[in-house]
Structure 1
Amino acid sequence: MNACKRVLVFGATGLIGRHIVRQILTRKDDFDRIAIFTSPDTVRSKAEEIKQLKNEGVEVLVGSLTDEADVRKAYQDIDTVVSAVGRNMIVHQIELIRLADETPNVHRFFPSEYGTDIEHNRDSSGEKPHQNKLKVRSFIRSCRNLDHTFLVTGPYADGDPGLYLSPNYGAVRTGSFDVRTKTAVLLESGDLNIAFTTMCDVGKLLLAALTHPEASRNKALRVKSFTTTDGKILEEFEKQTGGEKWQVSYTSIEELRKLEKKAWATGDHQATLITLRRIWATGGTLYHEWDNKLIGEPAVQTLAEAVATAIDVQLHGEQEMKRKLV
């Protein structure tokens, strides 16, 4: 069995990468090496964050993701690569995977998969937001020397801009929870089940996959924090904001599909998000069973905990989010 002991993370200071690195550091004694690969611009713009990571024993490798020599150098003495790159860099992972497959010491690659299951059902292959991730999956499965793990989490149950427990400014009609105005838009009648994972738990579950290398080898791990409905989310927000009833409106699935069609036709940058919300609302996160148990059943957050964090983030912004990472 090839253990995952010398780990390199791409996208480590991004939205989800921060949580992944933070959770790996909770078990840093289990690893021989923890490194991140980042750009010179990030080193300058996020100097305090980089300094903190160095102080905690993280090795910071600086270079360009599009420079083959930089990537090959970063792969030296690494056995596992964790990618948390953003959607704009998804396809470029094919090159990162190719180089990893050509590097004898690298044996495992975690692509940036965190989110919607791109192979959930027979319709998944036709969904526009899935196309680049499907290309990455196809390529990595063709590798001769490289194992992989896909961590499929469903939507993030967090209050950061654009995430499910946020006001979702710019696309409010596709679902929103606004703490400041105590208003919400629920999908359909608010009783559709959706499986969620908090960003903190994405980090925990990724760590569990790293520390259970055989159980997670060449698998799409379908994991979650909890399953709930918009209505239950609203009840929790109301409870934690003083008990007062919020002002609520509803968007039907039919209306959501119309908004989705219009967004793609007009080139709206929210089109991808709207499609994903339609997928989530129509069963695209649900299974008969999940794979948390395969990787040791790590403790995950509850709906109440997720809402509490979302309230803090909505009211206090990035400062509160960074505090929650510590």
Structure 2
Amino acid sequence: MSMEGRLDPSDASALRERVVRLEQELAQRERELAEHRREIRALHEREAQLLEIEAEQKRLAAVTENSSDFIGIASMEGVAQYLNEAGRELVGLEASELPRVTIGSFFFPDDLPYIEQHIMPATMEHGRWVGEFRFRHFKTGAAIPVLYNSFLIRDPETGEPMALATVTADLTERKRAEEERVRLKDEMIRVQAATLRELSTPLLRISDRAVIMPLIGAVDSSRAAAVLERLLQGVSAEQSRVVILDITGVSNVDSHVADALIRTAKAVRLLGAQMVLTGIRPEVAQILVALGVDLGSIVTMGSLQSGIAFALSQPR
């Protein structure tokens, strides 16, 4: 390179090759972002499927006469008289054990006060109680989430209560679907957040010792922190000696942005790298001067191209 700072033909050719590689890296980044978007669409589709599963389970729960539900009958004293096969399988009860079972046996001791004080009085007063509750598995002691539907069987002639009955639906799969939907939603948010971070703070390597981060749009305190974190991670991971921060596309430059630039330069220097600030427009330069910002520790270049040329000219 000459004393005037111009590139000789060989350097210009190398620069063009690196710019081409930079463009290829940008294209690769766009393909990666497209893949992220496809993943997000897949998560949306999966969530819609889970919602459909939940709707189907609600429809099944509404068909109370379906024999796949827990169907049980007990005397008015609470002694079990009948429990269908699906019900016995649900709670792990043998048919031979049924005569010795009461309504309270299907529940946890901690739940009995609520049953005695709320569910049974509501059933006797209104003829029915419906709500989400839990059964106790007789063999394992595990909790089984259910839609518990307790109601009275009345004498068709006198209207007097004859027995207590229930048509109860197992909500285990529904609960799992809800948990899966929450997990997928959290994953979708994580992917979206990662995509946004990549879009707002891209870090591109232009050589084995230099990286560049172009900033576009407004820079607030939150984004400034993200820029600093991303830069420091990149410098450490890439073992970079030169970091180019291009602010050509930054829409606002105030004291907060200027302070962020200085803090970023100091942090980069602590990692053994040098920061180059490019894209300082005339109006931005005037603002920095008016704010009294000292950029003495930062190499400044008018354009991104000149910053890249500077970075590539540094010794290895």
Query: Which TM-score tier does this pair reach, normalised by the shorter chain?
Result: under 0.3
Q: Provide the TM-score with structure 1 as the length reference.
A: 0.27
Q: Which has the higher strand share?
A: 2
Give the number of the structure whose alpha-carbon radius of gyration is greater.
Answer: 2
Greater relative contact order (Cα 8 A, min sep 6): structure 1 or 2?
1
